């Protein structure tokens, strides 16, 4: 038996799946998912840029594949995401002259977008990352197009719309770096304001793109407790562990300009060293020990991918780097980290 069975009485174990996995093109990965995972999230296929055509029309093929895959394998399905500045074309927010559209116009677009997609999958998607990454790297509200046009109210709007259409769906606020001090406090303050205004937010999605050397377990634990104290269910939504030392405490823009990929500088181009692999395994073990300790507060732990070959980190922060952040290797074999997590 696999992780699914081992964690049955603790929390759901999820994986983000890309479009080719969702359309059943990788029988070996399908087999892993059947054995090890109880939940799935679409890595890209429900984002605005994936479901909408340039003229605003709808493209359902990839999202439908994801839903069919989830249904076929009896998986808890999480939608990702309804309002996010990423992978959303500028034309959503700006007119032909390049000026921002009026608040009422953006509100109308959000209404159409959210009610359509939430309505289409009502009763089949169990949860939504309703709003994604609204707090910036400076711990202030991110000056995204959504925010610049509608202010913080864009968040309220997204949650209310989704809740009206599918009152049973569990709605989460999802963000990165919020498992560490600084952004944690900013995010907790935002959630307090949302709750005070009666916004139907039920869960916090801690993405948890972490590294082998941080953030510390005590920092992550503080975050679990802080969000649970606000009355929120805790979800780890995008877990992966970078074998390179922490870079996330730099602003993202700086990361991508500072690191230029040179194969000869990639320390793990031809495989992980034993030392690095051991570090990865111990890190996964300590993380899952912490999650188990707080299983009463945690609903789900989702990994951002199944096997290393398909991880987004292969392109981040340096395009083309070789990354090893997941539980299955490039040949889709379980890693030592997998066995350690399974044995807990
Ligand atoms: O679909 C096109 C394809 O047609 C084209 O040939 C190819 C060439 O580059 O690009 C494809 O699109 C890429 C897409 O992933 C699908 O593979 C985009 O360039 C690429 O930018 C996109 O990256 C995704 C990223 O979000 C975008 O911001 C990653 O796969 C996805 O893992 C990542 O996920 C995010 C979460 O949604 C939010 N939290 C952070 C997380 C990691 O960045």
- What is the model's pLDDT at position 176? 96
Quick check: CB of 87 below 6 Å from ligand 1? Answer: yes
177 Cβ inside 6 Å of ligand 1: no
- Identify the residue whose tokens are 């599918």: 166
What was the pLDDT predicted at 318? 73
Q: What is the pLDDT of residue 322?
A: 85
Please give the structure tokens belonging to residue 42: 């679409």
Report the distance separating Cα 137 and Cα 251, nearest Å: 6
Specify the pTM.
0.96
Query: Which of 15, 42, 43, 80 most suits a substitution to test ligand 1, by most atoms within 8 Å of the C-beta?
Result: 43
Tell me: cis bond preceding 293? Omega within 30 of 0 counts: no
DSSP tag of 96: T
Query: What's residue 291's pLDDT?
Result: 99
| 6 CA to centre of ligand 1 in angstroms | 31
- Judge contact between 309 and 330, C-beta under 8 A: yes
pLDDT confidence of residue 249? 57
Residues 239, 15, 158, 60: is their CA dihedral positive or negative?
positive
How would you class 63 by CB atoms within 10 Å of its CB: exposed for 0-12, middle for 13-18, buried for 19 or more?
buried
Active site annotation includes 238: yes
Helix (H) or strand (E) holding 174: strand 170-175
Do residues 45 and 69 lie in contact, with contact meaning Cβ atoms separated by under 8 Å? Answer: no
Q: Is 148 in the pocket of ligand 1 (CB under 6 A)?
A: no
Residue 58 DSSP class = B
- pLDDT, averaged per 10 consecutive residues of the chain (344 residues), comes to 97 98 97 98 98 96 98 98 96 96 98 98 98 96 98 98 98 97 97 98 98 95 98 98 73 60 68 92 98 98 98 84 93 98 98
SS3 assignment, position 182: coil
Q: What is the pLDDT of residue 320?
A: 77
Distance CA 76, CA 17 (A): 13
């Amino acid at each position: 038996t696999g992780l699914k069975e081992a964690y049955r009485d603790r929390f759901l174990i999820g994986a983000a799946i890309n479009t080719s996995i969702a359309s059943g093109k990788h029988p070996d990965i399908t087999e892993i998912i059947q054995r090890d995972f109880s939940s799935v999230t679409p890595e890209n296929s429900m984002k605005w840029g994936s479901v909408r055509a340039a003229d605003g029309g709808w493209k359902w093929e990839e999202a439908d594949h994801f839903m069919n895959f989830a249904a076929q394998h009896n998986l808890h399905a999480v939608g990702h995401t309804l309002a996010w500045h990423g992978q959303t074309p500028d034309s959503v927010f700006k007119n032909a002259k390049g000026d921002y559209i009026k608040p009422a116009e953006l509100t109308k677009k959000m209404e159409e977008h959210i009610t359509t997609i939430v309505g289409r999958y009502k009763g089949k998607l169990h949860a939504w990352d309703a709003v994604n990454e609204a707090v910036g790297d400076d711990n202030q509200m991110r000056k995204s197009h959504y925010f610049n046009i509608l202010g913080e109210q864009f968040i309220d709007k997204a949650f209310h719309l989704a809740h009206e259409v599918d009152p049973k769906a569990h709605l989460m606020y999802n963000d990165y770096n919020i498992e560490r001090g600084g952004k944690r406090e900013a995010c907790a303050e935002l959630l307090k304001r949302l709750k005070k205004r009666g916004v139907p937010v039920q869960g916090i999605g801690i993405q948890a793109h972490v590294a082998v050397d941080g953030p510390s377990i005590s920092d992550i634990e503080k975050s679990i407790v802080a969000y649970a104290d606000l009355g929120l269910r805790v979800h780890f939504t995008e877990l992966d562990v970078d074998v390179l030392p922490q870079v996330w405490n730099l602003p993202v823009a700086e990361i991508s300009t500072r690191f230029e990929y040179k194969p000869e500088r990639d320390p793990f181009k031809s495989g992980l060293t034993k030392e690095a692999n051991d570090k990865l395994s111990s890190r996964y073990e300590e993380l899952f020990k912490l999650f188990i300790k707080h299983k009463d507060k945690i609903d789900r732990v989702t990994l951002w991918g199944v096997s290393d070959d398909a991880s987004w980190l292969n392109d981040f922060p340096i395009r083309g780097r070789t990354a090893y952040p997941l539980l299955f290797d490039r040949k889709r074999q379980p890693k030592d980290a997998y066995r350690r997590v399974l044995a807990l």
